[in-house]
Chain A
Amino acid sequence: MNDDDSETLVRRRQRDRARLMAVLLGVFVILIFAISVVKMQLAHGS
Chain B
Amino acid sequence: MTTTTATPTILPADWRDFLALTKPRVMTLVVFTALCGMLAAPVPIHPVLGFTAILCITLGAGAAGALNQWYEADLDARMRRTRGRPLPAGRMDRQSALHFGVGLAGFSLGLMYFAINLVATLILAASILFYVFVYTIWLKRRTPQNIVIGGAAGAFPPVIGWAAATGDVTLLPVLLFALIFLWTPPHFWALALFVKTDYANAGVPMLPVVAGERVTRQQIGLYTLPMAAAAVAPWPLGLVGPVYGVAAMALSAVFALLAAQVAFRRSGEGDRMVPEKRLFKYSILYLFLIFGALVADRWVA
| Least CB separation from B115: chain A residue | A35
The answer to whether A13 and B48 touch across the interface, beta carbons within 8 angstroms, is no
* B13 contacts across to A, CB distance below 8 A: 13
Q: How many B residues touch the partner, as a band?
A: 10 to 19
The verdict on B49 contacting chain A, using a C-beta distance below 8 Å, is yes
The answer to whether A6 and B9 touch across the interface, beta carbons within 8 angstroms, is yes
The verdict on B264 contacting chain A, using a C-beta distance below 8 Å, is no
B residues apposed to A, CB below 8 Å: 6, 9-15, 46, 48-49, 52, 55, 114-115
Q: Contacts A6-B9, A7-B9 known; A38 to B49 CB distance under 8 Å?
A: yes
Query: How many angstroms from the CA of A35 to the CA of B115 in the assembled complex?
Result: 6
The answer to whether A10 and B12 touch across the interface, beta carbons within 8 angstroms, is yes
The verdict on A22 contacting chain B, using a C-beta distance below 8 Å, is no
The answer to whether B14 and A35 touch across the interface, beta carbons within 8 angstroms, is no
Per the CB 8 Å criterion, the residue count for chain A at the interface is: 17
The answer to whether B11 and A9 touch across the interface, beta carbons within 8 angstroms, is yes
Report which of A10, A17, A38, A39 forms a contact with B9, defined as CB distance below 8 A. A10
The answer to whether B15 and A20 touch across the interface, beta carbons within 8 angstroms, is yes
* B48 contacts across to A, CB distance below 8 A: 34-35, 38
Q: Binding site of A, secondary structure by majority: helix, strand, loop or mixed?
A: helix
Query: How many angstroms from the CA of A42 to the CA of B48 in the assembled complex?
Result: 12
A residues apposed to B, CB below 8 Å: 3, 6-7, 9-10, 13-14, 16-17, 20, 31-32, 34-35, 38-39, 42
Report which of A10, A20, A31, A39 forms a contact with B11, defined as CB distance below 8 A. A10
